[in-house]
Structure 1
Amino acid sequence: MRIENLSYNNAQSQGPERREWFRTHSAEHLERCESLMQLALRRRPASTASSVVVLGAGNCTEVPLVTLNRGTDELVLADLDLAGMRRACDLQLPNLGQRRRMRLVECDLTGGVSRNLERLIRRQRWDKLAPQGASAIFDAAASCLEECEVPDPPVLDDLGQGQFGVVISSLVMSQLFSYPILDVLDPIIVAAPDFWGEQERHRRYQEAAQAFRLRVINAHLHLLGSLVDQDGLIVLLSDVRGFAFNVYGTDHDASHRRDIPLVPRAFFDLVKEQFTIAEEQHWEWLTDLPEKEHFGRGYEVVGYVLRAK
């Protein structure tokens, strides 16, 4: 399961070095993330809780701890990567006095989706299915996704309900469904590597994967609504589409760029159905530059400030 390696992977791809890289190559990304968080802090009514929670904090690459710490009586970071959150606090808040109002909560923001899916994956005899062909393999994969329990909303006991004046979801939503989907494909790569890519043409699998994405997204949106205090605000930051490009400086050039959908289009409708949008912004974020045979990568991001209806 990919979540088992989350802390190690985050240490390789996030943190202060990555933040400095973004300042050089994607400064707008960091500025937009912080400005939306500041906006929520400024617009938070005096009548609501002054505490703030950040879901998906990780190494806090896009989370300005100093800014958030100044604007709250209690700052809670919630993520499965406890080591990453500790590193971020050590680096961004070196003064122990700055951390007195902080709490770190180690938790699975999905409420255990990967574990639920793992049990279903292990029941399948992938080696026996492989000789039956791609259809049998991807029917089994679809079945795993269809049967997987998705707690809605996830119950995170250490966070309670309705306790936060500002709830921040920091670029974590797409990971909540993409990691489990990749976990389903891993045993197929081992048992039937020749079938890799066939999932794109298998209708039942595609429908199951899309339905799974939407269930996880809905559960996450419901989680945000359950955590925020009455009249509080939600900051939702999410990548919605990836892109690859092969020449530096052509990340906006369609002839050198390949788009990679990440989030179902229905996501935007779900947000509108469940929340009142106080602010909406869109921008792009580079994560890698092209080098020799390696493509550059980036993401289209949406940032919201929301109120629960």
Structure 2
Amino acid sequence: MRIDKLSFNNAQTQGMARREWLQAHSPHHLENCVELMKQGLHLRPRSTSQATVVLGAGTCTEVPLVELCRGSEEVVLADLDYAGMRRACDEQLTAVTLRRRMRLVECDVSGLVSFNLQRIMRVQRWDEAAKRGADTLFSLAADCLERCPVPDPPEIGDLGVGDYGLVVSSLVLSQLFSYPLLDILDQIQSVAPQLLGEQERHARYQQAAQDFRLRLVTSHLHFLRSLLDKGGVVVLLSDVRGFAFMVHGTDHDAKHRRYLPLVPRRFFDLVRENFEVVEERKWDWITDLPQEGRFGRGYEVYGYVLK
């Protein structure tokens, strides 16, 4: 499963070195993330829980641990990448008093969706479907997505329900569905590599994939609500579409970008159906600069403060 490589990938691409790169090449991304989390702390009333949870914390590249610890009685980091969370604490927290406020929870914040999908995929006759052609193969893939259980909301005992006055979802939403969808495509590549890329032509698969994304988005928003104490605040950060580019640093950058949607359009309505929007921001997050023969990459990000 792609999610099994998460810790290794984070070690290669995230953390202090990545934060320094972002400060040089995409400073607005870090500034917006930090400012929205500080705003969440500021808006959290004293009458609600003073504990904070960060979902998808990873190596905390965009998470200001010092500020969160100073403003909270407890800060809980929740992610599958336990080593990355430990490394983040070592890098950012030098004061023992702040480190004592930290608690790390190793968990899959989707509620084991990748595992659920893998269990269904494992018993399918992929070789036989591939022999029958693209329609049969992608119909089988669609069937796996349609049958995959998505907990709504996930129940993670180590996090509790209604325990937090500030709940942060840190750029994890699109990963919740992209990793299992990539698992499906990896399976197709293993049995019929010549058909990889043909999924765009198969309406049932496209609909199943979009419905799968929507189920994960809805589940995650419900999860944020379930963790929130009465009167608490949510900070939701999510990439909504990616882009590739060869022109950077001009007034015409956007004209030279090739966009790829990540979250369903319904995402924006779902946010407002589940929460009151206190603040909304939109910005670009550059992750790689273009080099000779290779496109640069980035994401369009939306950040929310919600109640």
Could you say whether these structures have the same fold, taking a TM-score greater than 0.5 normalized by the shorter chain as the test?
Answer: yes
Amino acid at match of 2:70: R
CA shift digits 1:32-60 (9 cap, x unpaired): 00000111111111110111000000000
Q: Which residue of 1 aligns with 2:10?
A: 10
Asked if the contact 1:238/1:302 (under 8 Å) is kept, the reply is: yes
The reply to whether residue 229 of structure 1 matches residue 221 of structure 2 is no
Instruction: Please state how far the C-alpha of 1:249 moved relative to its aligned partner.
Output: 2.7
After TM superposition, list the pairs within 5 Å mapping 1:38-187 onto structure 2: 38-187=38-187
Q: Which runs of 5+ in 1 are unaligned?
A: none
Mean CA deviation greater in 118-127 or 246-255 = 246-255
What's the CA shift for 1:126?
A: 1.5
- Closer/same/farther in 2, CA of residues 96 and 251 from structure 1, 3 Å limit: farther
Q: What amino acid does structure 2 have at the position aligned with 1:230?
A: K
Q: Relative to 1, partners in 2 of residues 1:22 and 1:146: Cα closer, same or farther, differing over 3 Å?
A: same
Counterparts in 2 of 1:247-266, with a 5 A limit? Answer: 247-249=247-249, 253-266=253-266
Say whether the 8 Å CA contact 2:247–2:253 is kept in structure 1: no
Query: 1:69: Cα distance to partner?
Result: 0.7
Asked if 2 retains the 8 angstrom alpha-carbon contact of 1:250 and 1:257, the reply is: no
User: Is 1:282 paired with 2:244?
Assistant: no
- Deviation of the 1:250 alpha carbon: 5.5
SS at match of 2:150: coil
CA distance in 2, matches of 1:92, 1:251: 35
Write out the 4+ residue segments of structure 1 that deviate beyond 4 Å after TM superposition: none
Within 5 A, what are the aligned runs for 1:23-34?
A: 23-34=23-34
Aligned-residue identity in percent? 64
- Give a deviation string over 1:4-26, Cα, whole Å, max 9, x none: 11100111110001000000001
Looking at structure 1, the residues matched to 226 and 248 of structure 2 have their Cα atoms a distance apart, in angstroms, of 43
Between 282-291 and 255-264, the greater mean CA deviation after superposition: 255-264
TM-superposed deviation, 1:142: 0.3
SS of corresponding position for 1:234: strand
Number of residue pairs the alignment of both structures matches: 307
Alpha carbons of structure 1 residues 252 and 83: separation in structure 2 relative to 1, 3 Å = farther
Distance in 1 (CA, whole Å) between partners of 2:250 and 2:212 is 34
In structure 2, give the amino acid aligned to 1:306.
L
Alpha-carbon separation, structure 1, partners of 2:172 and 2:233: 18
Rounded Cα–Cα distance in structure 2 between residues aligned with 1:101 and 1:57: 16
Q: What amino acid sits opposite 1:4 in the alignment?
A: D
Shift of 1:86: 0.1
In 1, the alpha carbon distance for the partners of 2:100 and 2:210 equals: 43
Name the counterpart of 2:191: 191
- Secondary structure of 1:45 counterpart: coil
**8 Å Cα contact 1:282/1:300 also seen in 2:** yes
> Cα deviation per residue 1:280-304 (whole Å; 9 max; x = unaligned)?
1111110000111111000000000
**More displaced stretch, 123-132 vs 24-33:** 123-132
Where 2:39 maps in the other structure, the secondary structure is: helix
Q: SS of the counterpart of 1:35? A: helix
CA distance in 1, matches of 2:106, 2:232: 23
Give the aligned partner of residue 299 of structure 1: 299
**d(CA) in 1 for partners of 2:250 and 2:10?**
28
Rate the CA distance shift 1:213–1:252 in 2: closer, same or farther, 3 A: farther
Distance in 1, Cα, partners of 2:231 & 2:89: 29
The whole-number CA distance in structure 2 between the counterparts of 1:8 and 1:68 is: 26
C-alpha distance in 2 between matches for 1:293 and 1:306: 42
1:260 and 1:188 map into 2 onto residues whose CA distance is: 21
After superposition, the CA RMSD in angstroms is 1.1
- Equivalent-residue separation in structure 2 for 1:163 and 1:254 (angstroms): 42
Scaled by the length of structure 1, the TM-score of the pair is 0.97
Letter in 2 for 1:148: C
**Aligned-residue offset at 1:262:** 0.3
Task: Provide Cα deviations, 1:142-163, integer angstroms capped at 9, x if missing partner.
Answer: 0010000000000010011111
What is the distance in 1 between the residues matched to 2:80 and 2:255?
39
Return the offset for 1:94.
Answer: 2.5
Structure 2 length normalisation: TM-score?
Answer: 0.98
Give the letter for the 1:265 counterpart: R
SS at match of 1:237: strand
Helix, strand or coil: the match of 1:242? Answer: strand
